[in-house]
Amino acid sequence: MGGLDYGARFVRIFKMKCYVKVYGCQMNAADSHLVSRLLADAGIREVSETGKADAVVLLTCSVRQHAEDRAWGFARTMRGRGKKVIVAGCMGKLRGQELVAEGVADLVLGPDEYRKIPGLLLGHDNLNTAPESFETYSDLLPAPNSSVSASLSVMRGCNNFCTYCVVPYARGPERSIPYHDLEKQIRYLISQGIREIFLLGQNVLAYRHGDMKLIDLLERAARLEGLDRLGFLTSHPRDLSYEMIQRMARIPQLLHFFHLPLQSASEGVLKQMRRGYSLAEYEQKIGWVREAFPDVYLTTDLLVGFPGESEEDFELTLDAVRRIGFDFAYMFAYSERPGTKAADMAEKLPVPERKRRLAELIDRQNEVTRRRAEGLVGTEEEVFVTAPAPRGQGAMLAELKNYRPVILNHTARPGELLRARLVGIEGWSLLAEPLAKEVA
């Protein structure tokens, strides 16, 4: 190849502008930071408006029909505007053929094929990549979009096969990333000013590399200088142990935050879902968590309208919501996913009934959410400032030590730690007022 050829390529690289749109869970958000790195390394400019982009990359989700519909619609619109459209991620993997056949996407890729993106955008034909099912991207330094908080996938995939869930099919088998790679990534993030890191996995408690388990990983990461706040997501209740909680409680930087998806409070439904715990076990573990972390911010996922869920089953979930007192819940109506076990179950509930149950559940949880937040009004807390609030001049988004989000009615620098008083509630947000200057 001559110099001229290189020059032509150079020009083409700099002309390419790409917009990245993210759907789905935190893992997709973390994946988008890997994609940003891949684009930057290839000299492709990421833009923040579709109007300026030549190409659009969608990191998609298939967990519910609604998530697919949204991405599908966006991809179609972008293609209609003459953009090159790459549908990547979970829906790319599961519905790739249809997306191409229906003219919605130019190219489709699964969650283990992001390395192909720059080559596809630039029209290269050499798309050699690592064997897909072992892909971990552990050599890439993530390019986070927040200046003080970042997420890092410490494992990929899921082996659980809960009967309603498409994730194991979309993301493939579990793979944990070795500590030395994670340490490099964490040190890099710290060097970029990041002070809070979330370690991610669909079932992050199952992290295992050699002798190292998640709890060892948390303990070691916490010893890295400059990391002030450390969290982990998502925990499968079955895999949370008493010993783990005790060791977690001794990690000073660990956020007092547990996201423990319950899904349902009916033993029968939990069995049909193949969740691997009973309600009694779940509540026992919540007890351990509250004992070790009295100020815990406890969140959950709840799924109603699963095939065969009776009115009594549903009411058990309503009761549990009040009894357990979650600070916040992500609540969903069951959505049939082709290829999953539950899709073949008889006794499907009519969609309007699923929606009715969801609405009732949301009402119940809202009541609990509000009560839990009201209980904090008047208290003084340490708040960690993360970013300017989207609306409201001078206000900042901030987090308590237990990760509970608050709005600070004052300007402050992201990364600052302040003493603040919780003064009230506006909508669903707790409002905080700073008391004094930086405490740490």
Binding site residues, ligand SAH, CB under 6 A:
63-64, 164-165, 167, 202-203, 234, 236, 261, 263, 301, 303, 332, 334-335, 337
Amino acid code (one letter) for 49: E
Report what 161 binds from ligand SF4, ligand F3S, ligand SAH, none; CB cut-off 5-8 Å by kind: ligand SF4
**Element (H or E) spanning 151, and its range?**
strand 149-153
Site residues for ligand F3S, 123-152, by CB under 6 A, read: none
**Element (H or E) spanning 426, and its range?**
strand 417-426
DSSP calls for 4-15: HHHHHHHHHHHH
Q: Which residue has the tokens 């759907």?
A: 23
Out of 202, 235, 299, 335, the residue judged to bind ligand SF4 by CB under 6 A: 202
For residues 142 and 30, give the distance between their C-alpha atoms in angstroms, rounded to a whole number: 8
If the CB atoms of residues 164 and 314 are measured against ligand SAH, the closer one turns out to be 164
> Hey, is 418 helix, strand or coil?
strand
If the CB atoms of residues 31 and 309 are measured against ligand F3S, the closer one turns out to be 31
Closest-approach residue to ligand F3S (CB): 24
Report what 64 binds from ligand F3S, ligand SAH, ligand SF4, none; CB cut-off 5-8 Å by kind: ligand SAH
Distance of closest approach, residue 101 Cβ to ligand SAH, in angstroms: 24
Closest CA to 337 of 291, 306, 366, 316: 306
Q: What are the tokens at 182?
A: 């994670």
401 binds ligand F3S (CB under 6 A): no
Q: Which residue has the tokens 């706040």?
A: 229
203 binds ligand SF4 (CB under 6 A): yes
Residue 13: partners with Cβ closer than 8 Å, 6 or more residues away: 42, 43, 44, 122
Q: Give the total residue count for the chain.
A: 440
Out of 92, 110, 111, 168, the residue judged to bind ligand SF4 by CB under 6 A: 168
Asked if 253 and 205 touch (Cβ cutoff 8 Å), the reply is no
If the CB atoms of residues 92 and 434 are measured against ligand F3S, the closer one turns out to be 92
Closest CA to 304 of 294, 295, 296, 313: 313
If the CB atoms of residues 121 and 204 are measured against ligand SF4, the closer one turns out to be 204
DSSP calls for 375-396: TTTT-EEEEEEEEE-SSSTT-E
Out of 67, 91, 152, 162, the residue judged to bind ligand SF4 by CB under 6 A: 162
Amino acid code (one letter) for 321: V
Report what 168 binds from ligand F3S, ligand SF4, ligand SAH, none; CB cut-off 5-8 Å by kind: ligand SF4
Span interacting with ligand F3S, options 25-33, 48-56, 259-267, 392-400, rule CB under 6 A? 25-33
Distance of closest approach, residue 305 Cβ to ligand SAH, in angstroms: 8
The contact set with ligand F3S (CB under 6 A) reads: 24-25, 27-28, 61-63, 90, 166-167, 170-171
Q: Given the rule CB under 6 A, which residues bind ligand SF4?
A: 158, 160-162, 165, 167-168, 202-203, 236
